[in-house]
């Protein structure tokens, strides 16, 4: 505990209330404000911009320096040297796996790729063209009906089985949502393929035919999953923690995270970026959209720009931008008009005083949509893919919370409604 504690006067006694300062490994220390109500006040922090809701060891972000660490490893190094499933092991276990640990982990994931028939029926019940996020949210919640064995959340073993099931099934379910969305039959999993290859084959393959997945696209897909894996206590992860704190079924908790991610201010931004670039349509229209983004009277925001924590470049956006160039060059799309608009938009915004003063930089969603579109993924599927990558982050935080003593989350409020009054006689 740090020596620099804070003291506040109490409403109920002459003794000052001591608010301990707890040291963090890196970044901001925290003030334990549990005793604050003794002052007769609660704290108010709209949007939780300055409030730590939990202790965690999984991910650290330094927003001013544009740093993102997963269990201490910089995202740039993981993107270059690791892969998505190895990063999943790291997020869950806290250390990179040995080669035998990695082999066992991949085997444990692979054996849970099966999807039961009731889930297929559930998906087929959706009207054609239903948004894939609506389908994904439903089928993941339905897993709490299908997988009702070994869901004792107090058992570390059961929690690990839940983790294997979710990591294995998310890309399968995501691909099935896509196939139903475009009115195509499901493609069976192919156990000869790795995680990203099998996902792409189930998305774009032909039912009953041999798979042919481009290694470049599979590598890009694996990187997209990796870059979306975890991001501290963002809105959807906080939702999963809050749901999990009630002891709710883990699949229902992940479904709540999917629902929270869907919003265009959060994971839905990647689809909104592409729609925005298509609406801009030509570099000559960029200035007018920048003016709209700066106009307080206009609700338009520059999608893919800005972040609650990053007041510098989102390091994931930098990695995504390099991958974007590689994938489009590989596909002969380096002159893709949307990429040209995106790069010009980024240049103009980064030179504009409004964006500079407000420290608005491209975030993870700014380039991801361009890569996914180049791979052939429809915009409606972008947030589904974000959710597929982020599931490991959600379930790692859920597991971390349940692995040590925790309390049900129950925020207080700043009440400004009526005082007590009587029902009219
Ligand atoms: C993700 O939390 C996470 O970690 C999320 C995420 C993850 O991996 O989980 O990183 C993923 O959600 C990335 C963000 C994706 N969303 C978008 O790209 C949507 C566009 N961005 C904005 O909606 C906004 O920047 C947010 C939602 C991302 C952040 O909102 P904040 O922190 O509440 O910031 P704010 O709205 O208070 O903005 C501060 C100022 C405001 O102006 P003033 O009121 O001070 O005059 O900056 C302005 C805003 O109007 N502003 C923008 C802007 N973003 C902020 N103006 C124009 N365009 C924008 N994009």
Does the annotation mark 365 as catalytic?
yes
Ligand 1 atom 8: residue of nearest CA = 231
Residues 119 and 175 sit within 8 Å (Cβ to Cβ)? no
Identify the pLDDT of residue 107: 97
- 83 as an active site residue: the answer is no
The enclosing H or E element of 345 equals helix 337-351
Set 32, 131, 190, 266: catalytic member = 266
Looking at residue 216, its pLDDT comes to 92
Instruction: Dihedral sign for Cα 354, 359, 362, 363, please.
Output: negative
The mean predicted confidence, pLDDT, of the chain is 95
Ligand 1 atom nearest to 307, measured from its CA: 28
192-234 pLDDT per residue, tens:
999 999 999 999 999 888 888 999 999 999 999 999 999 999 9
pLDDT (0 to 100) of residue 148: 80
CA of 266 to the centre of ligand 1 (A): 9
348 pLDDT more than 80: yes
Give the residue, by CA position, lying nearest to ligand 1 atom 31: 308
C-alpha distances out from residue 134 to 122, 124, 176, Å? 12, 13, 13
pLDDT in tens, 144-187: 999 888 889 999 999 999 999 999 999 999 999 999 999 999 99
Q: What is the pLDDT of residue 19?
A: 95
Task: Return the HEC string of 66-95.
Answer: CEEEECCEEHHHHHHHCCHHHHHHHHHHCC
Is the CB–ligand 1 distance for residue 231 below 6 Å? Answer: yes
pTM of the model: 0.95
Minimum CA distance residue for ligand 1 atom 28: 307
Rounded to an integer, the average pLDDT of 2-20 is 81
What are the residues whose beta carbons fall under 8 Å from the beta carbon of 415, sequence distance 6 or more? none
Residue 307 CA to ligand 1 centre (angstroms): 5
- How far apart are the CA of 308 and the centre of ligand 1, in A? 6
pLDDT band for position 4 (cuts 50, 70, 90): confident
pLDDT digits (tens, 9 = 90+) for 94-129: 999 999 999 999 999 999 999 999 999 999 999 988
| Strand, helix or coil for residue 21 | strand
Ligand 1 atom 40, closest CA: 358
266 is annotated as an active-site residue: yes
Q: Are 250 and 152 in contact (CB under 8 A)?
A: no
Regarding the beta carbon of 343 and ligand 1, being less than 6 Å apart is answered no
242 or 334, greater pLDDT: 242
Residue 3 binned pLDDT confidence (cut-offs 50, 70, 90): low
Please indicate whether residue 349, judged by its CB atom, sits closer than 6 Å to ligand 1: no
Residue 365, ligand 1, Cβ within 6 A: yes
pLDDT digits (tens, 9 = 90+) for 352-379: 999 999 999 999 999 999 999 999 999 9
Q: How confident is the model at residue 10 (pLDDT cuts 50, 70, 90)?
A: confident
In the predicted model, is pLDDT for residue 1 greater than 60? no
Question: Cβ(302) to ligand 1 under 6 A?
Answer: yes
Ligand 1 center from residue 33 Cα (angstroms): 27
Cβ neighbours of residue 124 closer than 8 Å, sequence gap 6 or more = 180
Report the Cα 2 to chain-centroid distance in Å: 33
pLDDT (0 to 100) of residue 8: 86
Length of the chain as a residue count: 425
360 CB under 6 A from ligand 1? Answer: yes
Q: Is residue 292 lining ligand 1, measured as CB closer than 6 Å?
A: no
β-partners of residue 67 are 62
Share of the chain above pLDDT 90, in %: 91
Ligand 1 centre from 265 Cα, in Å? 7
8: enclosing H helix or E strand: strand 6-9
Cα dist from 121 to 118, 229, 334, 380, 395, whole Å: 5, 29, 41, 21, 26
User: Residue 372 Cα, ligand 1 centroid: separation in angstroms?
Assistant: 22
259 CA distance to ligand 1 middle (Å):
19
What pLDDT band is residue 411 in, cutting at 50, 70 and 90?
Answer: very high
Which one from 83, 230, 314, 365 is the annotated catalytic residue? Answer: 365
Reported as a single tens digit per residue, the pLDDT across 253-269 is 999 999 999 999 999 99
Q: Which of 307, 314, 352, 397 is catalytic?
A: 307
Distance 197 CA to ligand 1 centre (A): 33
Pocket test for ligand 1, best of 272, 290, 301, 392 (most atoms within 8 A of CB): 301
Is the CB of 276 within 6 Å of ligand 1? no
Assess whether the C-beta atom of 318 lies below 6 angstroms from ligand 1.
Answer: no
Residue identified by tokens 């922090």 is: 45
């Amino acid at each position: 505990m740090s020596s620099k504690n804070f003291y506040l006067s109490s409403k109920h006694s002459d003794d000052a209330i001591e608010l301990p300062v707890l040291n963090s490994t890196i970044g901001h220390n925290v003030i334990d404000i549990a005793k604050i109500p003794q002052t007769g006040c609660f704290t108010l922090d709209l949007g939780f911009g300055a409030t730590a809701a939990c202790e965690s060891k999984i991910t650290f972000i330094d927003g001013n320096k544009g740093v993102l660490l997963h269990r201490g490893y910089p995202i740039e190094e993981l993107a270059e040297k690791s892969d998505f499933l190895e990063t999943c092991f790291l997020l869950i276990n806290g250390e990179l796996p040995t080669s035998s640990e990695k082999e066992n982990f991949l085997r444990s994931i692979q054996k849970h790729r099966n999807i039961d028939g009731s889930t297929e029926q559930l998906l087929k019940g959706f009207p054609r063209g239903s948004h894939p996020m609506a389908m994904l949210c439903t089928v993941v919640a339905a897993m709490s009906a299908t997988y009702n064995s070994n869901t004792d959340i107090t058992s570390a073993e059961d929690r690990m089985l839940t983790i294997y099931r979710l990591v294995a099934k998310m890309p399968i379910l995501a691909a099935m949502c896509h196939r139903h969305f475009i009115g195509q039959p499901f493609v069976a999993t192919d156990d000869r393929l790795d995680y990203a290859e099998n996902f792409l084959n189930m998305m774009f393959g032909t039912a009953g035919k041999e798979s042919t997945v481009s290694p470049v696209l599979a590598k890009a897909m694996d990187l997209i999953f990796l870059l979306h894996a975890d991001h501290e206590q963002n809105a959807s992860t906080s939702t999963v923690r809050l749901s999990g704190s009630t002891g709710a079924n883990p699949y229902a908790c992940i479904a709540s995270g999917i629902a929270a991610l869907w919003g265009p201010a959060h994971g839905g931004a990647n689809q909104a970026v592409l729609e925005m670039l298509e609406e801009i349509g030509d570099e000559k229209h960029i200035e007018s959209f920048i003016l709209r983004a700066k106009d307080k009277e206009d609700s338009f925001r520059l999608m893919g720009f800005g972040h609650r924590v990053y007041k510098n470049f989102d390091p994931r956006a930098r990695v995504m931008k390099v991958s974007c160039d590689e994938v489009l060059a590989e596909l002969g799309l380096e002159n893709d008009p949307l990429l040209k608009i995106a790069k010009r938009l980024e240049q103009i915004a980064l030179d504009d005083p409004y964006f500079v003063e407000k420290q608005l930089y491209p975030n993870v969603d700014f380039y991801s949509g361009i890569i996914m579109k180049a791979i052939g993924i429809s915009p409606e599927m972008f947030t589904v893919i974000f959710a597929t990558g982020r599931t490991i982050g959600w379930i790692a935080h859920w597991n971390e919370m349940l692995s040590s003593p925790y309390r049900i989350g129950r925020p207080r409020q700043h009440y400004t409604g009526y005082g007590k009054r009587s029902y009219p006689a």
